Structure 1
Amino acid sequence: MFRSLARRAALSSASPSANPHTLGPFQVFDRNVKRIQKDRAALREDSRTVDYVREEVADRMMERFLDIKRTFGSILDLGSGAGHFTKLLEPEKAQKSLMVDLSQMSLNRDPDSDFEVQVERIHGDEENLLQLVEPNSQEAVVSCLSLHWVNDLPGTLIQIREALKPDGLFLGAMFGGETLFELRSALQLAEIERQGGLSPHVSPMTQTRDISNLMGRAGFSLLTVDVDEIKVAYPDMWALVDDLRAMGEGNAILGPRRALRRDTLAAASAIYTALHGNEDGSVPATFQIIYMIGWKPAPTQPQPLERGTGKVPLGEAL
């Protein structure tokens, strides 16, 4: 039911030199539904109160960004939303941020006064990056919790690499496959018990083990991939589901879906508490975050030594 998005790699014949617009992506998500969800979420009065996951991930991304000893004239914030990462930028690190997002409401939710750097907003689909910017034009591309909603992840990574200048930086964070495993298991068990079958209610996500391979296939060099978790306690399952909607993180799987009955949802809530509940009566929700860093190849980058050039025998080194 919850298919790994690694199948995107198997079903897409992308190579680092491929034209991303000729790829045949494996369609998982309805991008129009996702745009509507994000638009509605941005218009909710509580939209800023549920920014806690994105703000925490943006903070952790910024720590990685600051470790890179380079100053950028500009960066491209892909799937920026209201600009959670861009808000943390300081002029000493970058002068300008080009914010790109599928949702115009999210893109324009917060005023310019929240930013310390110059901001330019572009309303467009992250899946069509090279229709929005020129190849070899960007010093750095960052993406904070957006790439888990693209259909053709290998193709999107290729477009990011193509958009970068030589030796350009890509820094991204996306939800990993263990995200919301507590909610998934509760919904599965309840639906089997009450409705006699399964249908997808939580979106499939990429497994950690696939990211390095996908980044390498997309043509990035000097790869760094690491994983982190954010655990949040909620009063009950209903509060979690409501917050996910307010975040714009509702289910957007393509195709018809069987609706969950009220008694199935009630059973899922009870199962959630029984299997995963905390001693204080709250329930935990785990958000697994995959962080990735890659560079567009350039002749000036450090290169591995050619085979056979080592001067110390392996046995001696061991």
Structure 2
Amino acid sequence: MSAQPDLFDRRLFRQFRERALKTARPGADFLLKAVAEDLEDRLSLINRSFRTAVDLGGHTGLVSNAIRNSGKAATILRADLFTPDPNLPAPDLVVDDALLPFGDQSVDLIVSALNLQVVNDLPGTLIQIRRALAPDGLFLATLPGAGTLTELRDSLTRAELEIKGGAAARVLPFADTRDLGSLLQRAGFALPVTDLDTVTVRYDTMFALLADLRSMGAASVLKDRSHKPLSKAVLLRAAELYAENHADADGRIRASFALVTLSGWAPHESQQKPLRPGSAKARLADALGVDEQKVRD
């Protein structure tokens, strides 16, 4: 059986990330800040503490701070992705999130934000994360899901078709919420949960959105991408189409980010488990206060 070809160019992703860290622009991390705050809130609601937590990705220190502010972890390890963040003190380690260096059952909490969407073998990475967690350890992550940047995808595709007669993929494909939940189950997580929150950001022009994506290190890293940059004519026409089809009454355009949050626990005997069929000790009819009706064969 042949291996599935890689979808993402990880070397290019590393280059984009390094560039984004070196040329960090104030305010361009707004989406990461919002995700980190949400993850902090979620951790704060969990009624237990963890000995060792890992910020898987570094995230300019925002996720490490979120874990710290939640008060849920005694020790926090910042694992920068690919390269140390030049704007922060040295990380505890530098990792590739597609090939984790953690031993089995070695950490209690792993938190990731906005980077697992460009792992080529996400099921394999989730298995590695589950194995790295001690029993009853928690995995918590947020990544863009299906519906992210649909306006940009639509405008670029239509402009390129109109001017060139064909269109290449310019925006990453993003996984569906249900599919991500299934991947958690396949990886062996207990009590898997996924939920979706759509954030809409407004811009003056499409070019302001593209500048933010570049500053986030979020430009396209598709391996099977066109290596020819879009022409000025295509970009200008895409900006026109964006303004015509995806703008509010005041003329500002919308950009949608569908943020999927995943949570799953390493299995442990203390966790709730479904009852065996037929093991109930009370009748549903009694609980509902109705007469039980027998169904004929």
Match of 2:47 in 1: 69
* Equivalent pair of 1:71/1:93 in contact (CA under 8 Å): yes
* Equivalent pair of 1:36/1:103 in contact (CA under 8 Å): no
Give the aligned residue type for 2:95: G
Match of 2:220 in 1: 251
| Counterpart mapping for 1:90-169 below 5 A | 90=69, 92-105=71-84, 107-111=85-89, 120-129=91-100, 132-169=101-138
2:62 maps to 1:84: yes
Q: CA RMSD in A?
A: 1.9
**Partners of 1:138 and 1:25 in 2: CA distance:** 30
Flag the 1:58–1:45 CA change in 2: closer, same or farther, 3 A: closer
Post-superposition shift, 1:108? Answer: 4.0
Structure 1's consecutive aligned runs of 4 or more residues displaced over 3 angstroms after TM superposition are 312-318
2:263 maps to 1:293: yes
Match of 2:253 in 1: 283
Give the aligned residue type for 1:173: T
**Partners of 2:73 and 2:142 in 1: CA distance:** 19
Higher relative contact order (CA 8 A, sep 6+): 1
Flag the 1:45–1:206 CA change in 2: closer, same or farther, 3 A: closer
**Identical counterparts, % of pairs:** 37
* Equivalent pair of 1:172/1:293 in contact (CA under 8 Å): yes
Unaligned ranges ≥5, structure 2: 289-297
Equivalent residue pairs, number: 286
Unaligned ranges ≥5, structure 1: 1-10, 13-23, 113-119
The normalised TM-score by structure 2 is 0.91
Match of 2:37 in 1: 59
1:162 is paired with a residue of what secondary structure? helix
Give the aligned residue type for 1:27: D
**Partners of 2:71 and 2:24 in 1: CA distance:** 34
Post-superposition shift, 1:256? Answer: 4.4
Post-superposition shift, 1:214? Answer: 0.6
Max radius of gyration: which structure?
2
**Partners of 1:256 and 1:276 in 2: CA distance:** 25
2:145 maps to 1:176: yes
